[in-house]
Amino acid sequence: MSVLTYIGAGQMASALTFPTIENGHEVRLVGTPLDRDIIDEARKSRYHITLKRTLPEGIKYYQIEEVEEALKGADVVLCGVSSFGIDWFADEIIPILPESAPVISVTKGMFDNEDGTLKTYVDYFKERTPAGKKLSFNAIGGPCTSYELADHDDSHVAFCGEDMEVLKMLKETFETDYYHISLSTDVVGVECAVAMKNAYALGVALAVGLAEKRDGKIGAVHYNSQAALFGQGIREMTKLIKITGGGPENIIFGGGDLYVTVFGGRTRKIGTLLGRGLSFEEAMEELKGETLESIVISTRTARAVRKLAERNIVKLEDFPLLMHVDEIINQGKEVNLPWKEFTLNIEK
């Protein structure tokens, strides 16, 4: 039995308590300062108020003031914060982490550097680690929604990191007959693939809103347009993976993640509202209080691509869907999908 300390009691981190508890491990779930109500209710009833599931028996719950107690004797630490909590985790948690416990993060996203290159959260955590402290940072990527994981629907993800032996240990700790894990030392490839899906899921969801606007009916769908945008997203994501130096095989994790994101959640909501004709400000007001990581990653990725284009490393015309999404959310433009820019002349 291993001791696992989860920092962050959000939906995905909490869903990951199911496979680890079922594997016989001790799980300690620590709430961030934003998770107080989640921890309070879970202590009373085991019910998770945002995941809307009853968590497994045996979990030990901690408020953030008790984090050091929760870290004592930990064999693995899971970073369960959203991308908006990355700096908090780096400032408050990394300095107190035990060197003996590898860290695995469920947080998806990347930072764009001044030169247009993209940096994974794993690399960011390494940069923010105090001098002389040695920690193993790893990450989870792939198509997996929290509520379906909690319901034991079969899911296939990738655990990525630099040390294959550490990854094998983590796989043994987390894997079950419904939670299937591939391993990869291509951190950039995996993390780029799964981060980009947020931007492109927003793009695909525009077609949902456009269909509702055209038919005058909420819930109207037209799969041709969604499929076309999905395909364009895969094309652009593949180019982005190559630019970052990642292996092209990682598109299976990004493509799968794009698929599940298009079918539900906050990214679908914002894309649908924009497609219906709401301005970005109006759509954001309607989703007030929601954590919209898709806006962050879309903005960062588009900014990076524009900088790389200025350096003649890429061509903006290779990323028409990403550029249009950026124009909508950051320049106030109306939805007007550039269909002609998606077409190709392909010769052998």
CATH 1.10.1040.10 residue spans of the chain: 196-342
CB 152 within 8 A of CB 178: yes
The pLDDT tens digits of the residues spanning 80-132 come to 998 889 999 999 999 999 999 999 999 988 998 999 999 999 999 999 999 99
Q: CATH fold of 3-185, please?
A: Rossmann fold (3.40.50)
The pLDDT tens digits of the residues spanning 275-298 come to 999 999 999 898 887 778 889 899
If you average pLDDT over residues 9-35, what whole number do you get? 97
The pLDDT tens digits of the residues spanning 225-273 come to 999 999 999 999 999 999 988 998 999 999 999 999 898 778 899 999 9
CATH 3.40.50.720 residue spans of the chain: 3-185
CATH 1.10.1040.10 fits 196-342, yes or no: yes
Task: Report phi then psi at 100, rounded to 5.
Answer: -75, -15
Can you give the pLDDT at residue 264? 75
Quick one: how far is CA 47 from the chain centroid? 24
The helix (H) or strand (E) run that includes residue 5 is strand 3-7
**What share of the chain in percent tops pLDDT 70?**
100
Task: Report phi then psi at 265, rounded to 5.
Answer: 95, -175
Which residue stretches of the chain are H helix? 11-15, 17-22, 36-45, 67-71, 86-88, 121-128, 146-150, 164-174, 187-215, 223-244, 251-262, 266-276, 280-286, 293-310, 320-331, 339-342
The pLDDT tens digits of the residues spanning 170-218 come to 999 999 999 999 999 999 999 999 988 889 999 999 999 999 999 988 9
pTM higher than 0.75, yes or no? Answer: yes
Residues 6 or more apart in contact with residue 25 via CB below 8 angstroms? 1, 2, 3, 4, 173
If you average pLDDT over residues 9-25, what whole number do you get? 97
